[in-house]
Amino acid sequence: MALEDAKTEVDTAFTRSSNRGLSFENAFGGATSFLRRRYSKDLTGVDLAITGVPFDQAVTHRTGTRFGPRAIREVSTLQPYDPPHGWPTNPLEDMDIVDYGDVAFDYAKTADFPAALTAHIAGILKAGAGTITLGGDHFITLPILRAYAAKFGPLSVIHFDAHSDLWVDDDMSRIDHGTFMYKAVKTGLVDPARSVQIGIRTTTEDYLGFNVITAREVHEKGAAQVVAMAKDIVGDAPTYLTFDIDALDPAFAPGTGTPVWGGLASWQAAACLRDLAGINLVGGDVVEVSPPYDPTGITAVAGAHVAYELICLYHWARTQR
């Protein structure tokens, strides 16, 4: 069946007749939506919208993450042939998922960007769908959290990162990917007591009540123990998961703006994400994929796999909990 379909399927990002099902289009051809989902602005009956945020004007070092969503979509064409490995369910068959495209914004009016992104996400949530967002630098999570907190109240957050992004910044008009979580806590979007940061390996003076699991602890305690700790922290609360690709060691994800040695191996991240099945995931993102610094494309591959695991976690939360 797959071979026969591969002979005839092309540009299924536009031509597929259903929001459900695997895809057998040649990985090297056609329009590159995420996982070959249909591009659509119609959210009627949609369970989950994949959306891109090509924004990198908040970075402290190397730019380039504006190209992240495009790169992640391109490499994801290798994934939709089969059900996700290791999962007993298949979200591509069981959920209506669309690629909602990217947020529109004026690159020359940076100050207007946060409100534009919040409105973009809020519109999707109002339609009854959840979001998995492809970044973009990590500042984008703050406007997204504003939309989610407006619907769910203060959120639990599982935050994979090399950095806490909790550096002090009381100027709420500043747009900075290193201070967004500080602002999320200070403005009541996130409940730090029932949130956790995983993979941290840079210094922060005050974690504002966040539970922190360093990269070294992941290496020494193992993924299973770390996940058990994380699940105990977030409990059954509505949880948003944000994954900065620099949580991975630069050996596994060189294409990022602020790489830090000593990070997670890709297999550790995969094990952690898989074992988080059961959390009440309401949305998530993968950010800081910067293709210009990775000619091999392996960073985008990692980002695409993270995004697929987030889809699986979202599906699991609605069918198996």
Evaluated on CA atoms 198, 247, 68, 72, the torsion sign reads negative
Evaluated on CA atoms 17, 22, 26, 29, the torsion sign reads positive
112 is in an annotated binding site: no
94 is in an annotated binding site: no
Task: Tell me how far apart the alpha carbons of residues 77 and 93 are, in angstroms, rounded to a whole number.
Answer: 16
Task: Tell me how far apart the alpha carbons of residues 179 and 65 are, in angstroms, rounded to a whole number.
Answer: 17
138 is in an annotated binding site: yes
Instruction: Name the phi and psi angles at 216, rounded to 5.
Output: -65, -40
Task: Tell me how far apart the alpha carbons of residues 233 and 131 are, in angstroms, rounded to a whole number.
Answer: 23
177 is in an annotated binding site: no
Strand pairing category for 211-214 and 156-160? unpaired
The length of the chain is 321
Evaluated on CA atoms 241, 244, 245, 246, the torsion sign reads negative
Q: What is the DSSP letter of 257?
A: S
Closest CA to 305 of 86, 127, 31, 116: 86
Torsion, Cα of 60, 64, 70, 74 (10° steps): -110
Phi-psi category of residue 58: left, alpha or beta, with phi > 0 → left and psi -120 to 50 → alpha:
alpha
DSSP 194-246: G-EEEEE-S--S--TT-EEEEHHHHHHH-HHHHHHHHHHHHTTS-EEEEEEGG
Known binding-site positions for Mn(2+): 138, 161, 163, 165, 244, 246
Known binding-site positions: 138, 161, 163, 165, 244, 246
